[in-house]
Chains A and B, each alone.
Chain A
Amino acid sequence: MSAKKNININLKIWRQKNASTKGKMETYKLDNVSTDSSFLEMLDQLNEQLINNQQEPVAFDHDCREGICGMCSLYINGRAHGPDTGTTTCQLHMRKFKDGETIFIEPWRSKAFPVVKDLMVDRSAFDRIQQAGGFVSVNTSGRTIDANATPIRKEDADKAFMAAACIGCGACVATCKNGSAMLFVGAKVSQYALLPQGKVEATERVLNMVRQMDEEGFGNCTNTGACEVECPKGISLENIARMNREYLKASVL
């Protein structure tokens, strides 16, 4: 275990009152941050300091703080969810930073994710993509066939799971130089494309989800692969390829 110690840091944080005002970077100094703190606990500490100094605390999204809800975001020192790979901001710890370091904290930047306040953005575009086709059209009667009636190859089930592990945080969009959402959409399309339950509506699904994605103003994928590297859940680029395949099938056949 790393030795317990405290560090002093400088923070450059994007402050923006609401969606319709312009924002700017502000500088803060924060002392005595435990290296065992998570990044968000460090921001809690900053907010406590700001409140005590009669200043307005920094608004940022967070909820589960165990890397699964996808609520936390933050572009830290030029990278989505900070310098660690495979990590959400809430699981990033201050031991990754040095004493005296200056840390840049910005919101996700994307036309489709407008800033709501400070570091919070509106990611409802993802919800709308999901609503366009990210489901199996089955009613909740509980009178479907027995769960084991259709065996599914373990390999397919595992791949579907790995695609479904997406937490919808938007790091892929934030990190992509084109602001493309294809990793998110590809993962959802893939999950269903790999399972027999999802195959029935595969054509409509991929066409509708891609149409919605385009309408939301996301950029186009140029296969830089940055999304895969920064995805906290390690969603593979294979999922984008699979979506491309599914789209081709759906369009041509």
Chain B
Amino acid sequence: MAKSAFLKSSIAKKYWMALTGLFLCLFLVGHLLGNLQLLMGNNTEAALQFNKYALFMTTNPAVKLLSYLTYISIIFHAVDGIYLAIQNKKARPVAYAMSNPSKNSSFSSRNMAVLGTVVLIFIATHMVNFWYKMKFTDQIPLQTISVDNGMGGKQEFIITADYGQSKFMPKEQLDGKNLVQVGNKIYITKPIKVEFAEGYKDLHKVTYEFFKSKAKLFNVIPNEGLVFTLFYVLSMAFLGFHLWHGFQSAFQSLGINGKFTPAIKVFGKAFSVIVPILFAIIPIYIHFISK
């Protein structure tokens, strides 16, 4: 019975929560390091660096493998968590008339399911707004650069990885007929479809526009960029509370509780404060500070 129970037993569920949770913590670090590049400002070089990084992250096979692991972890962590929450609810069919849990446990530890659900909702919207657009649509334009045409006007050039000698390609050439964009690549359609050049999806611009948008959300709420910024900051607060308990809890679940525990706890608390704050700084910076 031993091996089969390993997937079903209460303790096994703890392991899986812990392992997936800790893996997601690692993901958070990676994701954060990449995103912090957004703080380099709203200029072509900064944007290019960020967009190149984004391209790498969506195409590198090793990163791909990691990203699949991340998706699985999120799904498993969420499903297992919800399942546990339901089971745990059932373990106490009659509630106490009077309960005073703040005397014996932290707010975070008692509300992991709620906090996790909010984080999950955040992840869903976040992915719809960026990840989905980036991966599955051509809604994200390629990054361009505006160059003085010597006649007092400006011309838009798409920045490409290799375009003859130049790194630029005039934007008007990408007419959607002879030259078309598929993903981040530009193809010549006639006489046969041939790869012509590779650009960079301008995720940087999309991100900046997202948080700076003055449009009305759902045609009602003005200044949707501010709403998005606040939503992101709030979500990061929820993430912080989730991590506050989750990080050190994972070690306990994996059976690590001993002389390193105080250090793990301190590190976990630092992690749960610093990581979400750094994440939250990005929309704040974009919305309020950047040009």
Contact = CB atoms under 8 A, between A and B. Distances in A.
Q: Do chains A and B touch in the complex (CB under 8 A)?
A: yes
Interface string B12-32: 111100000000000000000
Contacts of B3: 251
A224 B91 contact: no
Residue of B12, B88, B106, B258 with highest tally of chain A CB at under 10 A? B88
Interface size class of A (residues with CB under 8 A): 35 or more
Contact of B88 (A106, A178, A243, A248): A178
Interface in A198-253: 203, 207, 210-211, 213-214, 217-226, 229-230, 237-238, 240-248, 250-252
A226 B110 CA distance: 9
Interface string B83-119: 0100110111111111111011110011010000000
Nearest to A102: B98
Contacts of A177: 88, 92, 101, 105, 110
B252 A240 contact: yes
B220 interface: no
Interface in B240-289: 245, 249, 252-258
A234 to B, nearest CB: 13
B1 interface: yes
B260 to A, nearest CB: 11
B1 A78 contact: no
A78 B101 CA distance: 7
B9 interface: yes
Contacts of A207: 1-2, 5
B10 A179 contact: no
Contact of A243 (B2, B11, B13, B110): B11
Given A210-B9, A211-B1, A244-B14, A224 B105 contact: yes
A222 B87 contact: no
A152 to B, nearest CB: 19
Given A110-B92, A251-B12, A230 B252 contact: no
Interface size class of B (residues with CB under 8 A): 35 or more
A229 B101 CA distance: 11
B10 A221 contact: yes
Contacts of B87: 219-220
Contacts of B6: 251-252
Contacts of A221: 10, 14, 253
B19 to A, nearest CB: 11
A106 B92 contact: no
Nearest to B3: A251
A238 B91 CA distance: 23
Given A223-B109, A223-B245, A78 B255 contact: no
B177 to A, nearest CB: 58
A104 B97 contact: yes
A109 interface: yes
Residue of B92, B93, B253 with highest tally of chain A CB at under 10 A? B92
Contacts of B90: 111, 217, 219
Contacts of B258: 238, 241
A130 interface: no
A222 B88 contact: yes
Contacts of B253: 221, 223, 244
A104 B99 CA distance: 9
B130 to A, nearest CB: 31
Interface in B141-185: none
Contacts of A244: 11, 14-15, 252-255
Interface in B210-232: none
B205 to A, nearest CB: 42
Given A110-B92, A180-B91, A219-B88, A78 B12 contact: no
5 contacts: A79-B100, A111-B90, A217-B90, A221-B10, A226-B104
Interface of A: 12, 14, 25, 75, 77-79, 83, 104, 106, 109-112, 175, 177-180, 182, 203, 207, 210-211, 213-214, 217-226, 229-230, 237-238, 240-248, 250-252
